[in-house]
Amino acid sequence: FFAILGPLSYKSAISSLKEQAQNHLISVREIKKGQIESYFSERKGDVCVLSKSPLIVEGLPKFIETFHSRGPTSPEYKQIEDTYGNELAYYVKQYGYHDLILTDTDGDIVFAAENKAYLGINVTQGGMEGSNIVQAFKAGMLRIELTDFAYYEPFNELTAFISAPVRDKAGKTIGVLIFQIPFRQVDRIMSERAGLGETGETYLVGEDMLMRSNSRFTTEVSALKLQVDTEAARDAMEGNDGVKIIRDYRNIPVLSAYGIINIENFFWAILCEIDASEAFKPAIRLRRWALLIGGSIIGGIAIYGYLIYRRFTNELTSQDSSLRTQDS
């Protein structure tokens, strides 16, 4: 009974525990994926709505005209800034952006809600040529554009931009609205480890196989520095979802649930991982107990069998002696 039922029950229980661990990681991955997609969807909604609002459509031409004719330090510019700029600066703080920038069609920055040092800089020149703000401006002349995170020297940190064309009532593009998106918002979402135990983490990987969030296993910045060229990351970049045991970027066996996030015009892989030793701890514990209990039962049966055998052989010996006595 134990020889047949025991292994079957153990195999079924182990399979169930492993499936439970996999399903849990998949659930966490999907929650994080939904949060990231929602975050950028909201950013797209912000830039779409604000670029068509009277605040921008009416204010941008006045900023452009006054900036070029009077300069950003003139009383006339200050008056327009008081009329439109204060509300735009409040918008930036309320929704957690680094900055809100308005440019004319040549790329000249005519308004910045936070960093006034931007004023007068042309985004295609002035040391910004290699920045992702150039991509945001050029694409923003035509459509809503979200850039991937990149190192942005003026803020000495990772920054992304989302932009949209600003059009007058006739539909003519008069400039570009650009939001500067802080890295900390995305990293905060990914660093939340509820339900991931002691060794679990979720992180993002870009198409260049570099992290787009920070590793929980280092105090240093790993985003855009730490390469994650693992089996799971490569499979995710091919557009696949999956769960498997792999060696992670630390070369440690982990259970990895991975997938792809399609954010506008670029891809990120999302990986939710936990050390295999922790993920399968219930299964390992069950195996120990199964071996202990099974061994105890087998040992007990062996001892019982041995005692029965001894009793039986003693009875046979006694009977044999009695027969010999009778024969004598």
pLDDT per position as a tens digit, 146-163:
999 998 776 677 899 999
pTM, two decimals, is 0.82
Amino acid identity, position 94: Q
pLDDT per position as a tens digit, 226-242:
999 999 999 999 999 99
What residues have CB less than 8 Å from 18, skipping those under 6 apart? 280, 283
pLDDT per position as a tens digit, 56-112:
999 999 999 999 999 999 999 999 999 999 999 999 999 999 999 999 999 999 999
Tokens at 212, concatenated: 């787009």
The reported pLDDT for the residue numbered 322 is 64
Q: Are 285 and 278 in contact (CB under 8 A)?
A: no
pLDDT per position as a tens digit, 307-324:
787 777 776 676 666 656
The reported pLDDT for the residue numbered 216 is 92
pLDDT of 121 strictly over 80:
yes
| Residue range 10-29: mean pLDDT, rounded | 78
The reported pLDDT for the residue numbered 325 is 63
Confidence of residue 298 (pLDDT cuts 50, 70, 90): confident
Tell which wins on pLDDT, 277 or 46. Answer: 46
At residue 168, what are phi and psi to the nearest 5 degrees? -80, -175
| Residue range 132-154: mean pLDDT, rounded | 90
What residues have CB less than 8 Å from 88, skipping those under 6 apart? 55, 59, 100, 111, 113
Cα torsion 264, 137, 99, 125: sign: positive
pLDDT per position as a tens digit, 165-192:
999 989 999 999 999 999 999 999 999 9
Question: What mean pLDDT is reported for the chain?
Answer: 87
Confidence of residue 266 (pLDDT cuts 50, 70, 90): confident
